[in-house]
Amino acid sequence: MNGYELFWISGSPPCWRIMLAMEVKGLDYVSTRFDNAKGEQKNPEFLKINPSGHVPALRNADTVVCESLAILAYLDAAHPEPPLFGETADETGAIWQQILQFDSAMPGPIRAITRPVFRGRAAEQADTIREAADTLRPQLTALNAQLEATAYLAGDTLSAADIALYPPLMQLMRAAGRDDAQALDLNLSPLTDHFAGIARWSERIEAIPGYDRAYPPHWK
């Protein structure tokens, strides 16, 4: 029995990671959603829980864990089935390697595209966006080749690597698919045209039972 409470914002990739993991693990939780536009995550009660005012944060009785990767690791230790960080040293190493390679290279260029596009400034920041797309394209090509060879990022089984990468990639695709981003000829979206292996992998993630419950509500 647990008493999890998840603090989150709709459309936040780190929050989406946790919501997907909760579904994979079959865990219930109380959902406390903040409206980012109103800055609700900076309310005094939440700042006592996470003084930085960032989400996600997961509370369970007196325990609070912040930082999405830390929360994934915490949940996996608390609820080992199905394992998200592997069962052998080799698997754990491969999964963390995938996560950290992604986290050290892709979030910056992804943000350089998503921020201006979601703020309606795609044309204004066209050069920055094109440069970020040029950085991402070879990385996505490598990821695509990998996912042509294996069903999931760290082998034949869904792992924390898939759960960590899927939300930011989907946020990128959402931005790159907007008309004003398409006008910049980024050659990133749709996935099916540019990165068929990633597209098939995303369909596997979307088949996770409970996927819809974790999907950002304001994207529906």
Ligand X SMILES: N[C@@H](CCC(=O)N[C@@H](CS)C(=O)NCC(=O)O)C(=O)O
User: Which residue in the set 23, 40, 67, 91 belongs to the binding site for ligand X (CB under 6 A)?
Assistant: 67
Nearer to ligand X, 53 or 177 (CB): 53
Determine contact, residues 27/2, Cβ cutoff 8 Å.
yes
Q: Which of 5, 10, 33, 53 touches ligand X by CB under 6 A?
A: 53
Say if CB 195 and CB 136 are below 8 A apart. no
Q: Which of these segments, 24-32, 54-62, 91-99, 117-125, binds ligand X (CB under 6 A)?
A: 54-62
Q: Is 55 among the residues that bind ligand X (CB under 6 A)? A: yes
Place of tokens 């900076």: 42
Strand partners, 9: 34
Determine if 168 is a binding residue for ligand X (CB under 6 A): no
Specify the residue, 59 or 194, whose C-beta has the smaller distance to ligand X: 59
Span 13-32, contacts to ligand X by CB under 6 A? 14
In this structure, are residues 213 and 18 in contact, taking their beta carbons and an 8 Å threshold?
Answer: no
Query: Which positions ≥6 away from 189 have C-beta within 8 Å?
Result: 173, 176, 177, 181, 182
Nearer to ligand X, 29 or 199 (CB): 29
Q: With respect to ligand X, which residue has the nearer C-beta, 27 or 126?
A: 27
CB of 56 to ligand X, least distance (A): 6
Task: Using the structure block, give the residue that is written with the tokens 């044309």.
Answer: 123
For residue 190, the minimal CB distance to ligand X (Å) is: 24
Contacts 24+ apart (CB under 8 A), 62-68: 67/14, 68/14, 68/15, 68/17, 68/18, 68/164
- Nearest approach in angstroms of CB 39 to ligand X is 7
Kindly indicate which of the ranges 8-16, 78-86, 123-131, 176-184 contains the residues binding ligand X, using the contact rule CB under 6 A: 8-16
Residue 68 within binding range of ligand X, rule CB under 6 A: yes
Of residues 188, 161, 193, the one with CA closest to residue 174: 188
Q: Is 10 a binder of ligand X (CB under 6 A)? A: no
From residue 207, alpha-carbon distances to 158, 186, 204 in Å are: 11, 28, 5
Min separation Cβ 16 and ligand X, Å:
9
Contacts with ligand X, residue ranges (CB under 6 A): 9, 12, 14, 36, 41, 53-56, 67-68
